[in-house]
Chains A and B, each alone.
Chain A
């Protein structure tokens, strides 16, 4: 099946996922178009993180279909390398490689996985460091950087693979409050550049500002969704209302 940019970039249909007897996702469906920014919000334990981890096959699913640019993720013969070239991911705990400098962290995957030229990659990596405003930190080890700085290196590391879609899994949840802003700014700029983004977040203000569409999940189901304005101001479902009243 050939994928064309007018079709959804990510198409999720009736996804079920269980850990043992515990069903985390009970039939979730939605589409993401190219250039769209999607925020998934909801109480903890509602399956948000599991959902986006399924998109790049870190978790497998039991039932349903996930199409990424026409490629079926729920397929035992999936070419994971091909998928992960298209889908970048940033984690809550940054997960930088502690024994490599910031620059090496960014360069490692393009060189080892994509077999790119070393010089070109370094050029790209320096460009990305500038993009995330970390000039001068190229040779610092992760342990020498603050949480916010590490998270920006992690974003640059993902971007170095030139992905079509970026997944952000509660990327500000582990940060000190004063460094949250710099990371959000980086993501915002990325969104403005036209990157397709799927974010799991607790930053409601941020979601309202950058998202094109918001999905609210609870107990493994999407309860309500809509553009930020309608979603935040005119939520209909009582569960959404309750969640928003607690968090805002």
Chain B
């Protein structure tokens, strides 16, 4: 026999996430910058004292900064392209997950789960080795250089995650919205495009931005498969300097720093959006 279920207003298990900051202090951007700068300078300084014959680690780093930054811009380009591609395919896949046709629904679900559970690096390898280096359409040959393959490889997990975000956002809308639209004689397609999706965009934005941040940090994986982005260039710069161990800390710190400078504001803005939408709803 099932027990009667009562809805209670007991304040148990408040939703995680929507809570007041009990501490006014927040890590601000300059805290991170200061910390990194400290690491950079201190490590550079220690070794400069030890070894006067060579150029100081810091001076060497400064020499390489323009090249490293150009590599980082390449990372950003990869992240934009992979995000665009992943979002586009992922949205279709997410809508497929709420399809009324069992075959579409089932296969969309499976593809989503499969690519969501696979490690990003494995998917990147997957795209690197299994995609052809060019694609022959008969009348035109599209070349697939490594960086294009990297974009495709990185867009696979993005696609799967976007699919889940879309499905989750649609599922989180109260069913009353569907019923109200149905009672007004909207078709399912009209309901979806005119009523449901416009409301979902807001809900999807924070997790989508979070995903972008994760993707940006994942672009360095492309170095493992030989795309010359910032991490590859860092390795090459270190090799060109003759493998000086005193350069390792400042160079890697610098890479950490530029990613932090790029991703931290995104993370803060995501939190801000989450709070803003949480209050409104």
Real binding pair = yes
| B11 CB, nearest partner CB in chain A, Å | 6
Interface digits, A128-163 against B, CB 8 Å rule (1 contact, 0 not)?
Answer: 000000000000101111110010000000000000
Binds B, one of A91-99, A217-225, A236-244: A91-99
Q: Which residues of A contact B12 (CB under 8 A)?
A: 98, 142-143
Q: Which residue of B lies closest to A137 (CB)?
A: B3
Q: Are B9 and A144 in contact, CB atoms less than 8 angstroms apart?
A: no
Q: How far is the CB of A105 from chain B (nearest CB, A)?
A: 12
Instruction: Indicate if A174 sits at the interface (CB-CB under 8 A).
Output: yes
Taking CB atoms, residues of chain B closer than 8 Å to A142 are 8, 10, 12
Contact with A along B4-29 (1 / 0, CB 8 A): 11101111110000000000000000
**Considering the chains assembled together, what is the distance between the CA atoms of A96 and B9 in angstroms?**
12
CB pair A174 B3 closer than 8 Å:
no
A150 lies within 8 A of B10 (CB): yes
Contact A98 B6 (CB under 8 A): no
Which B residues from 233 to 270 make CB contacts under 8 A with A?
A: none
Distance in angstroms between the alpha carbons of A98 and B12 in the assembled complex: 7
Secondary structure call for the A interface: loop
- Hey, which chain B residues are within 8 Å of A140, CB to CB? 3
Q: How far is the CA of A96 from the CA of B10 in the complex (A)?
A: 9
A17 to chain B, nearest CB (A): 23
Chain A residues positioned under 8 Å from B13 (CB to CB): 98
Closest beta carbon of chain A to B268's beta carbon, Å: 31
A144 touches B10 (CB 8 A): no
Partner of B6 from the list A93, A95, A146 (CB cut-off 8 Å) is A146
Cross-chain contact A93 with B11 (CB below 8 angstroms): yes
- 0/1 string, A169-184, CB within 8 A of B gives 1: 0000010000000000
Contacts of A144 in B (CB 8 A): 3-6
Q: Which B residue sits closest to A143, measured CB to CB?
A: B8
Taken together as a complex, chains A and B put the C-alpha atoms of A146 and B3 apart, in Å, by 12
A147 and B4 CA atoms in complex are apart in Å by 13
Count A interface residues, CB 8 Å: 14
Which single residue of chain B is at the shortest CB-CB distance from A95? B10
A174 and B9: CB pair below 8 A? yes
- Closest residue of chain B to A139, judged by CB? B3
Bound-state Cα–Cα, A96 to B13, Å: 12
B3 touches A147 (CB 8 A): no
Query: How many Å from the CB of B3 to the closest CB on chain A?
Result: 5
A45 to B: closest C-beta gap in Å: 20
Q: For residues 1 through 56 of chain B, which have their beta carbon under 8 Å from a beta carbon of chain A?
A: 3-6, 8-13
Chain A hits for B9, CB < 8 A: 93, 147, 174
Q: Chain B residue with minimal CB distance to A175? A: B9
Residue of B4, B9, B12 ringed by the most chain A CB atoms within 10 A? B12
A94→B10 CA distance, assembly (Å): 7
CA A141 to CA B253, docked complex, whole Å? 53
> In the assembled complex, which residues on chain A have CB atoms less than 8 Å from the CB atom of B6?
143-147
* B8 smallest CB distance to A (angstroms): 6
Interface mask (A95-123 → B, CB under 8 Å = 1, otherwise 0): 11010000000000000000000000000
Q: How far is it, in angstroms, between the C-alpha of A126 and the C-alpha of B278 when the chains are bound? A: 44
- What residue of chain A has the Cβ atom nearest to residue B5's Cβ? A144
B4 / chain A contacts, CB cutoff of 8 Å: 144
Give the residue name and chain of the A residue nearest to B13 (CB): A98
**Please, how many angstroms separate the alpha-carbon atoms of A174 and B8 in the complex?**
10
- B76 shortest CB reach to chain A, Å: 47
**Interface digits, A192-228 against B, CB 8 Å rule (1 contact, 0 not)?**
0000000000000000000000000000000000000
Chain B residues with a Cβ under 8 A of chain A:
3-6, 8-13
Other contacts beyond A93-B11, A145-B8, A146-B6: 19, CB < 8 A: A93-B10, A94-B10, A95-B10, A96-B10, A98-B10, A140-B3, A142-B8, A142-B10, A142-B12, A143-B6, A144-B4, A144-B5, A144-B6, A145-B6, A147-B6, A147-B8, A147-B9, A150-B8, A174-B9
- Ordered by A's residue number, 7 sampled pairs between the chains whose C-beta atoms are within 8 Å are A95-B10, A96-B10, A98-B12, A98-B13, A142-B8, A145-B8, A147-B8
Lowest 3 A-B CB distances belong to which pairs? A98-B12, A146-B6, A144-B3
